[in-house]
Structure 1
Amino acid sequence: MKSILYFLLVCVVISCQDIPSVEKPANLIERTTMQEIIYDVAIINGARGYDVQKLSKYGVTPETYIFDKYNIDSLQFAENVTYYSSDIESYKEMYLDIQKRVDEEFLHFDSIAKVEKKVKDSLRTEKAKSLRKKKDSLKSKGLDTIIGKKEKKQTITTFPSKSAKEVVIDSL
């Protein structure tokens, strides 16, 4: 039993190794620029998940858009992501800043969408009111046939007091 414990202890000690730190890349992208790049990647990934056809309609290829915009290549981007992600706390702060920015923009665009919807609803309501007024004025002038909604007189039909089944039985 002791030999097994010693063996496991040796395995644990051997398996613990020194992880080398990531060296600073030759083409280091500044932290603020890297945040902008990661933000743009998040927006493009969101757009890709929302409507790929719209991206292709405007000629945006998500794979190369970021690289062209920031004048970087995929290797430089990968090296910088590796470098910045080696410091977990700093990388987490970057992502929290990006998340805060996305949330603020979402609230901004959401409020604009609500205002636009309110305006559209009020225009629709105003149009319905004007149509109702026009219809009422035509009715008051006796021109309701122009609208195509002539009032129909309802006729009341009376049914015999006996049900159809009783009538058939009585006739036999």
Structure 2
Amino acid sequence: MKKFVVLFFGIISISCSNNPVPKPDNLLDDEVMTDILFDIAILQAADGSMPFRLTEKNIKINTYIYKKYEIDSTTYYQNQRYYAADSRKYKKMYQEVLDRLDKAKTENDSILPEGKERLK
């Protein structure tokens, strides 16, 4: 019985430690995937606050991302699924995105008062 319990927990620990999603044929680097997630966050925020701006310039978020990073939809979704399956890595990537968004906001906020002064 002890051997069965040890074997059972050994199998469970091995299966839980491996990523259940197969590695994509065209695996994007962590940094590239983080860049993609950052760009998507910016574009979705722009689309949410000023949807007419993207529409009038004929910018579609997915098409823009695919062209910029020279990938196709299959590569993107396979990588998205692969990274999302590793919750620790994915959380770290999203934290990097949040940090970059905060930095960009701070930089833009510091420029904004100067722009207001020039408009007067």
Could you say which residue in structure 1 is the equivalent of 2:8?
none
How far residue 63 of structure 1 moved from its aligned partner, in angstroms, is: 2.8
Q: TM-score, normalised by structure 2?
A: 0.79
Could you say which residue in structure 2 is the equivalent of 1:3?
none
Question: Does the alignment pair 1:77 with 2:76?
Answer: yes
Q: Runs of 4 or more off by more than 4 Å in structure 1?
A: none
Could you say which residue in structure 2 is the equivalent of 1:67?
66
Give matches, 1:82-161, under 5 Å. Answer: 82-120=81-119, 124=120
| Count of residue pairs the alignment pairs up | 105
Q: TM-score, normalised by structure 1?
A: 0.56
SS of 1:56's partner is: helix
- RMSD after superposition: 1.8
Residues in 1 aligned to 2:39 and 2:115: alpha-carbon distance in whole angstroms: 26
Residues in 2 aligned to 1:55 and 1:81: alpha-carbon distance in whole angstroms: 24
More helix by share: 2
Residues in 2 aligned to 1:63 and 1:84: alpha-carbon distance in whole angstroms: 18
Could you say which residue in structure 2 is the equivalent of 1:29?
28
Residues in 1 aligned to 2:73 and 2:116: alpha-carbon distance in whole angstroms: 41
Residues in 2 aligned to 1:70 and 1:63: alpha-carbon distance in whole angstroms: 11
Residues in 1 aligned to 2:62 and 2:29: alpha-carbon distance in whole angstroms: 21
Post-superposition Cα deviations, 1:53-94, rounded to whole Å, max 9, x if no partner, equal 111222212231101111111111111011111111111010
Larger radius of gyration: 1
Question: Greater relative contact order (Cα 8 A, min sep 6): structure 1 or 2?
Answer: 2
Residues in 2 aligned to 1:28 and 1:77: alpha-carbon distance in whole angstroms: 9
Could you say which residue in structure 1 is the equivalent of 2:40?
41
